[in-house]
Amino acid sequence: MVRLLGRDLANNKKIKYALTTIYGIGLSRSKKILESAGLHNAEKKGIRVKDLSDEEISSLRKVLEKNYQLEGDLLRLTNLNIKRLMENGSIKGRRHRAGLPVRGQRTRTNARTRRGGKKTVAGKKK
């Protein structure tokens, strides 16, 4: 089992899909990382995580640590940005504080995920 940035990668997955389990890496970024680490053949051939050599794993680790902000650092940065918006008193910050959708979605009928489940009113006439 390969461990990168505090995250275990599944042995039986192809490397380009296994990298997406790391927070901050999607499929397109995964392909770019493999190219910059010199593993573009691994992407095309569909090499799995268990088939990687130690040199390939170390080159992947170097590229990830040097060029990208991922996992805990990225989460911390995101939370700081949200906290800054809330302290500024901006509209986005107020929406975050109230637990409402931030990006202009309608809330009259939708937004059940952000607002919570339906609440019934007791004694309402039918």
pLDDT tens, residue by residue, 83-120 = 999 999 999 999 999 999 999 899 888 888 888 888 77
Domain housing 67: 2-71
Number of domains within the chain: 2
Query: Residues 16, 60: one domain?
Result: yes
Query: Residues 17, 45: one domain?
Result: yes
Query: Residues 67, 93: one domain?
Result: no
Question: Does any domain span residue 50?
Answer: yes
Q: DSSP H helical segments within the chain, as ranges?
A: 15-18, 27-36, 40-45, 54-67, 71-88, 91-98, 112-115
Query: Residues 96, 36: one domain?
Result: no
Span 50-78, pLDDT tens digits: 998 999 999 999 999 999 998 889 999 99
> The whole model's pTM is what?
0.75
Question: Does any domain span residue 107?
Answer: yes
Query: Residues 61, 24: one domain?
Result: yes
